[in-house]
Amino acid sequence: QVQLVQSGAEVKKPGASVRVSCKASGYTFTNYGISWLRQAPGQGPEWMGWINTYDGNTKYAQNFQGRVTVTTDTSTSTAYMDVSSLRSDDTAVYYCARDVNLAPATLQDYWGRGTLVTVSS
């Protein structure tokens, strides 16, 4: 069955960076993209960015351009998201999700269990 296993919770100080990992199993990793989303307390999900796991092409939401980097290691079927210059309002649960290509749209059909990132001085 499709599984996306994310790394554990992180506590960071303002200005620091964080890396969240997402290890996929149960399907051919390079046949689907990976999206990264976050959900602040009491709010709906917010899409942050996407990577084509086959060729490494990326796309980012305007709000996160320049501060978020998404990469993959196809040898281990793992995706990574780096967020820099963390602020207190970056405190949220961060999710990876498998992306199905429905051109022009994509569909996030399976989600990881989430990684809580807390930014606090």
Partner 1 sequence: HSALTQPASVSGSPGQSITISCSGTSSDIGAYNFVSWFQQHPGKAPQLIIFDVSNRPSGLSDRFSGSKSGNTASLTISGLQADDEADYYCSSYTTKKSPIFGTGTKVTVL
Please identify which residue in 54, 57, 87, 109 interacts with partner 1, judged by CB under 8 A: 109
Contact at 8 Å (CB) between 12 and 86? yes
List Cα–Cα distances, 73 to 40, 61, 66, 98, in angstroms: 28, 22, 21, 15
Binding map of partner 1 across residues 17-56, x = CB under 8 A, - = no contact:
--------------------------xxxxx---------
Binding map of partner 1 across residues 61-100, x = CB under 8 A, - = no contact:
xx--------------------------------x-----
The token pair at 84 is: 């820099």
Which residue shows structure tokens 């993209």? 33
Please identify which residue in 14, 16, 87, 113 interacts with partner 1, judged by CB under 8 A: 113
Contact at 8 Å (CB) between 25 and 76? no
Interaction site with partner 1 (CB under 8 A): 43-47, 59, 61-62, 95, 102, 104-114
